[in-house]
Structure 1
């Protein structure tokens, strides 16, 4: 129970901090903010990584890395972005 509460607290603090840092970086380097889709994808990815680390499911990290690398591979002109995972 205590581990779960610590996880939620750590996750919320880190997400709020990351949100403001990335917002400042995007404001400085990108005049057009663009889509918020990558922001939500990043949040979901970090939740998955945190859960894998806390629960000790280290194979999940291997799966995550393989999906990120695999979606960057471009065969011919069929471009696939890693925003899907």
Structure 2
């Protein structure tokens, strides 16, 4: 049941992030499946690390994200600043969702909604 909840929430997040990107950039981009897959694996990595109390994995995750986004010859433009803001907010949202996954996994029996869904 927990796997189904994870899959359903990832589909909802894919729609939400796509809608936010379209509103934020004011252009229709559609779904970028590569980005959806990367986001899913990122949240899964963070959730697994937190479930196993590997808090230093968050530092590794942050370093990998930073190294991936660094560009040495990027012009400073309004679009670039908008992208940086969107990127930061998206990463923070992903970490919050991963923390929720961790809480749901660790406290599955204590959450009334889950007891109602799967008695």
Does the pair score TM above 0.5?
A: yes
What is residue 30 of structure 1 aligned with on the other side?
27
- Higher Rg of the two aligned structures: 2
Q: Quote the offset at 1:24 in angstroms.
A: 3.4
For structure 1, the 5+ residue unaligned runs are 1-5, 78-85
Of residues 38, 42, 55 in structure 1, which corresponds to 2:39? 42
Give the TM-score, by structure 1 length.
0.61
Of residues 31, 38, 53 in structure 2, which corresponds to 1:56? 53
For 1:7-30, what per-residue CA distance to the aligned partner results, in whole angstroms no more than 9, with x for missing partners? 535533431331232343355543
**Which secondary structure does the structure 1 equivalent of 2:69 belong to?**
coil
Richer in helix (by share): 2
The CA distance in 2 between the partners of 1:20 and 1:35, in whole Å, is 11
RMSD: 2.6
**1:21 corresponds to 2:16:** yes
Q: Count the aligned residue pairs.
A: 72
